[in-house]
A = this chain, B = another copy of it.
């Protein structure tokens, strides 16, 4: 099994998504100094269980920018662990509207929405060149009947997605534009940090338009919010290159409710 897929599935020190709100930020874990593949090697698996996991034998597949990993309506067969790169997921409404429901990066699992109906409910598009491990879901179910800690982990991954989604509902339902952008940047920062990348200097992989769709704003509003944060010295923006200058102040933006 590829190390990232393993990492995503086997550990309790989960690299996967975190709640969107800064309030829920957790400190970096003890093993944050190792790299991603090493980050979360099996903690609670026996040798036999490890060997069983090999039965998954996930396929690795490469994607270029704007390739589809799956489309809405596709037959569900597998979950996908992102090995490297990043994706966006989005739902399409019949009238052409689309809503970005998430941005996923290395170590995160996507495709959970499809279990419900055996069909993908949204579509996943690569934001850059990416590598993905395909995890056949029937094998995963069989294995998780045999390996309780894998079963629990799968449940946690699904539950975490539910919690993440609810955080976004809070954001979309009750925050103003600049709060949303602050929450978004803080979430990214935290996820980069978990991956031993800089929490303060990073490159956005998505357009203003995509950020806007995710945050329920128009692209111009996103752009203005970036500009304003820069004006007041909270961040430096050069198009997609972000530097967080004053993390504390960025966090304090979240509490300025209406």
Q: Which residues of A are at the interface with B, using a C-beta cutoff of 8 A?
A: 21, 23, 91, 93-99, 101, 112-117, 121-122, 141, 144-146, 148, 151-152, 154-156, 158-163, 165-170, 172-174, 213-216, 255, 257
**Residue with the highest number of chain B CB atoms closer than 10 Å, among A93, A94, A114, A148:** A93
**Residue with the highest number of chain B CB atoms closer than 10 Å, among A93, A141, A166:** A166
Please, which residue of chain B has its CB at the minimum distance from the CB of A145? B145
Decide: A141 and B145 in contact? CB cutoff 8 A. no
Contacting residues, chain B, for A215 (C-beta < 8 A):
173
Decide: B145 and A93 in contact? CB cutoff 8 A. no
Please, which residue of chain B has its CB at the minimum distance from the CB of A214? B173
A64 to B258, CA, bound (A): 32
- A103 CB → nearest B CB, Å: 13
Supply 25 A–B pairs (Cβ within 8 Å), ascending by A.
A21-B93, A23-B94, A91-B166, A91-B167, A91-B169, A99-B166, A99-B170, A101-B166, A112-B158, A112-B159, A114-B159, A115-B155, A115-B156, A115-B158, A116-B160, A116-B163, A117-B163, A121-B163, A144-B151, A155-B158, A158-B159, A165-B169, A168-B169, A173-B216, A174-B216
